[in-house]
Amino acid sequence: MVHPPVPPDIPFSDADFRALASFAREHFGLSLSDSKKPLVHARIQKRLRARSAKDFSQYMRLVQDTEGGDERDALISALTTNVTNFFREAHHFDALRTELAPVLRQKAKRGERIRLWSAGCSTGQEPFSMAMALLEVLPETAARDIRILATDLDRAVVERGATGRFSAQDIAAIPESMRARWLRPVTDIANMSEIAEPIRRIVRFAVLNLVEDWPFEGPFDAIFCRNVAIYFDQHTQQTLWKRMADKLAPGGLLCIGHSERVTGPGLGQLTSVGVTTYRKDRGNRTEPTGRGET
């Protein structure tokens, strides 16, 4: 079999990389160091060819155009890595079950609202894992005012996660007892399962850029923001941690990625209570301006 020749790479100069890095920082908050140029070059070539761009300048005009929203979505997918699994970094879900569940159980009994946030939800495994962990210890969850907000900058992964459908390989990390309870086979697609309705009902997906305004007030009882801040520079990271600390309810948990650490002003409200797990101090609450909804 004769394969068609691979088209040559479209030139990607240092100036082109700096232009892209500047755009990514301004619009997405991403920090692209010079060392990432070879990786970005390899990934951006596919987008240049997909849009039949004759050079990088033409491509940049497209993504900067007011009508270039779809390509900006494709660009962010190319620049970030969506690696996720069910119950990844299991100690955070243990914290939900042991540290947070007793507090949430009392709030639910009093009829109070409970909100959790998966910030950087990718294809949905994280927020659905959060829901399963809660339902394991709070079986009345589905009947209470409990919601999990699942957001990501990448529209494509948000839309995929909202389907609630996963392959056999995807669900392998879910304990068998949970699989039997919370997953159903998709009848018309082999080796495909979907999340059961009681869990899907409490998880709501939305596209959100973390470096822009957040269209909700909180407070949240837990925020999972794991392996997201690694894409930001230190100043942006510290700003993010402070904003999230402000959105947490007193005693609420912030769970971050295994290679991330909270630094900066956010530490004035947060105390480390475990591996990459922080609790908001009860005496330092920043009051939200309203209840808001998620």
The residues assigned a catalytic role are: 43, 152
According to DSSP, the β-strands at 220-225 and 114-119 are parallel
At residue 105, the 3 state secondary structure works out as helix
- Spatial distance between the Cα atoms of 228 and 60, rounded to a whole number of angstroms: 25
Report the side by side order of strands in the sheet with 220-225: 203-207, 146-152, 114-119, 220-225, 248-256, 277-280, 270-274
CA-CA distance, 80 to 27, in Å (whole number)? 14
Helix axis angle, 69-79 to 14-28, nearest 10°: 110
Please, where are the H alpha helices in the chain?
14-28, 37-50, 56-64, 69-79, 90-95, 101-109, 125-137, 155-163, 176-182, 197-200, 234-247
Q: How far apart are the first and last CA of the chain?
A: 54
Where are the alpha helices (H) located in 138-280, listed in sequence order?
A: 155-163, 176-182, 197-200, 234-247
> What residues contact 119, with CB distance under 8 A and at least 6 apart?
151, 208, 210, 223, 224, 225, 228, 244
Per the CB < 8 A criterion, the answer to whether 292 and 218 are in contact is yes
Lookup: tokens for 89: 């970094």
Query: Cα(151)–Cα(158) distance, rounded to whole angstroms?
Result: 7
Gyration radius of the chain's alpha carbons: 21
